[in-house]
Chain A
Amino acid sequence: MHQEDSDQAKAYQQLVKSNQPKKPIVKNVLLAFLYGGMISLVGQGIQVAFIVGGMSKEDATSPTTVVLIGLGALLTGLGWYDQLTKHGGMGATLPITGFANAMVAPAMEFRREGLVMGVGVKLFTVAGPVLVYGLSAAFVVGVVRYLVTGVA
């Protein structure tokens, strides 16, 4: 009886699997390349503008990030960035503009739950884990490098 049950369960799982829509991986990958490439290209343009303005290559990275985050946040507010993530997938999510989108979108949506528990909390829905694990990973990497090389 039990054997029969698990066989049925297995058959059912297979049925579910065969009826799930197949992910269009090739299309997703191509779109991710185009969107990610375009956003990086825009970033490079902004960075070059700062360099032309007199900054060194290293110094220009931080203000470029600031501008891109501003753009990502603004486009999210206008409702346009959702279209980019819908079509471009990780091509729009992985760039820093997508990080801004991941902060703003839930904060807007949960505005009605208040400025603290709505906006304040939801701004860090994705940014929270990214900061926690990014900072921790960088700390561990720094410690290991310090132990190995004497400088981090």
Chain B
Amino acid sequence: MTFVWAFVVGGLLCVIAQLVLDLSSLSPAHVLVLFVVIGAILGGVGLYRPLVAFAGAGATVPLPGFGYTLVEGIATAVKTKGLLGLFTGGLTAAAGGIKASVIFGLTVALIFKPKA
């Protein structure tokens, strides 16, 4: 059943983003920034965690999931490290994704030539 909800929730998050893009004068980059911030806020008030439990990758694959990951990482780190966790928790939780995007991004950019 999670597969169905992953599709539906992932799709709906993109629908909201598409509506913001089409009905405002924001660029796609602005929308991405906005949605990461929204994900962090929803994570902070405890609304995003149930969405992740409900829809799995439907909530973690779209970019608000990145904001949520940062906030969850801080929460975990503050429990063990105290206030230092505010500085270490976000990047610790997101380390896999950030490092992957640099390594894969650099590799692909060096190997492939842009099409026309």
Contact = CB atoms under 8 A, between A and B. Distances in A.
B72 to A, nearest CB: 9
Contacts of A139: 74, 86-87, 90
Contact of B14 (A36, A63, A126): A36
Interface size class of chain A, counting residues whose CB lies under 8 Å from the partner chain: 35 or more
Nearest to A62: B96
Contact of A137 (B6, B41, B102): B41
A100 B101 contact: yes
B101 A146 contact: no
A37 B63 CA distance: 13
Interface of A: 23, 25, 28-29, 32-41, 43-47, 57, 61-66, 68-70, 73-74, 76-79, 82, 88-91, 93-100, 102-105, 107-109, 111, 119, 123, 125-127, 129-131, 133-135, 137-139, 141-146, 151-152
Nearest to A97: B61
A64 B65 CA distance: 12
B11 A40 contact: yes
Contact of B63 (A74, A89, A96, A125): A96
Contacts of B10: 36-37, 39-41, 43, 95
Contact of B40 (A32, A68, A74, A134): A134
Contacts of B65: 96
Contact of B43 (A23, A129, A141): A141
A65 B2 contact: no
B50 interface: no
Interface residues of B, number: 77
Given A69-B104, A73-B105, A129 B33 contact: yes
A78 B48 CA distance: 34
Interface string B16-49: 0111011100001101110111011101100000
Contacts of A133: 33, 36-37
B109 to A, nearest CB: 4
Contact of B3 (A32, A41, A66, A68): A41
Contacts of A25: 19, 22-23
Nearest to A152: B78
A115 to B, nearest CB: 8
Contact of A104 (B8, B33, B71, B108): B108
Contacts of A109: 114
Contacts of B108: 73-74, 76-77, 104, 108
A32 B57 contact: no
